[in-house]
Structure 1
């Protein structure tokens, strides 16, 4: 009888421990889910209206074909600044753009991609459909501003420019080769590359993205993309591919290194940014490089004890970078450089220059 009582007691004790363990585990899961849900809170039209001071012009920080972007503060995020992208649903394609961005941000996470906070699909006070995406605010603006703003242009040295290029290439490598589904960005350009507090570049705006293996049909970019950055085959009706993004990256790289946009006034009568850079490789590469980059080795950033050797090393690196841009932006998609190789080569050049 005593043995039976011992057995029952021990069994009850085991059941109690098991139940306690299960409840503890369940509570942990619930807390985890609660924590996750707090990261993606629901926001209403009125909250975004208040956060952006009524979508005022003073808060407007960017404008595109499908949307306007406002700087704002949401109380739910401890008074941190956010970027609120409001879709102009009257424009044809804006609804699809919103859907594509939502689809893209649902599955991708990478340090060099813009971080989405939440979305809003509601109606305004007049009963009109309202759709917006809320992103982490990038305090250092866009790459376009850094390249072409008179206040910023002299503050970018060679190393920082290469770091930006490495960041962009890493983002492309991720969406092309590691995300599920595979994503083609479709509208890569300097204004869609945002810079954070630590001067790290983040690729954003997936409104024209194409997804492989999803419900979205494969479409051409003949009606989208940006002149100067869009791959030439798209204008002939070809479908969007990874190689189209590589072309856009090549043009961005050449813009970063030469300081010239692909639509610069000098590019006419058959001359393009790609051909301009190719000419530089045949002659003297530094003659075609942005003057602000040349200051990197013309001033005091080179070890004077090995100045001649280090100057030669930097010139070789500059030529190698230009070669990457030229290789990425050739007309034939199958001849463009693989983005994995781009990442490897740029990182190797960056490591070499950091030892100068």
Structure 2
């Protein structure tokens, strides 16, 4: 019987055995892929000083910092915060404990994150975040490696129909020019409004914000080949040439491992990325499977490239792990034989009292002497 105190807060939920098994299988498969490609796992703490946590990623706004759960540490009397994103923590580790480690530095992570308030599109306030960061490089080669790594991880987790949508987070700044005299001149105070209208695909709002020259960018979207051609036609001054050549090289490296599209004006979820960003999708998933891109670590200003997946978000479409043979161990069973079964990959469930039903406990076998026997054939 459920009591009022048994209810969970909004945005939080229990993961019962079948779903927890899918999430665990995905986590293991993805971490194995990252490890195989030379990414060493780190485990940052769940909470740390708020000033460090909120200030390690260039481009993170005050509004985004307000999503952090905060409280005062009775030991230090300083404000602590629960992490809402692990990427800044990896940046801190790279800039401090691993500052002298050879570059490029490849790090992987997996852990829970929490938010004070989630979005309407994704109401979960607790998320299992898994990802990889390539510290010390934001080149085309680094971006290509990270995108392929993300695609391979999703496939290892059992997802199909993988697609990748590229974007250029610094597009407005590049075209406007640092001094406002770029190919598409724009007053510095108009940058944010133009970015917002491009992101929402609002042609009328874009004109009203003074970004009429940016209208062709709204239509340079779709499959990578045609979208790149559209952007090259817009980029008469060549300001985007190196970026577009980079996107073409990354797409060529991915080949047919995933479907590739381009939406150069997409900004949602790319608040701290620099020249390149990407969103991952999978067949049957309504929301994005993950995001990544290039960025700078605030404080050290070191270049980096990485991606993040939210595994619990993928649980609905991930395949259920195959059933493991389970053997019932009766009272007084041969412990050495049971240990051998577990070493060979079996699950075992030991009898605790008379009258137990092995089948109802999920067992298909029972240990008789030193051998597992199917229940239907047991004595």
Q: Which bin holds the TM-score, normalised by the shorter protein?
A: under 0.3
Q: Which structure has more helix as a fraction of its residues?
A: 1
Instruction: Provide the TM-score with structure 1 as the length reference.
Output: 0.27
Higher RCO (C-alpha 8 Å, min separation 6): 2
Q: Which has the higher strand share?
A: 2
TM-score between the two structures when normalised by the length of structure 2: 0.25
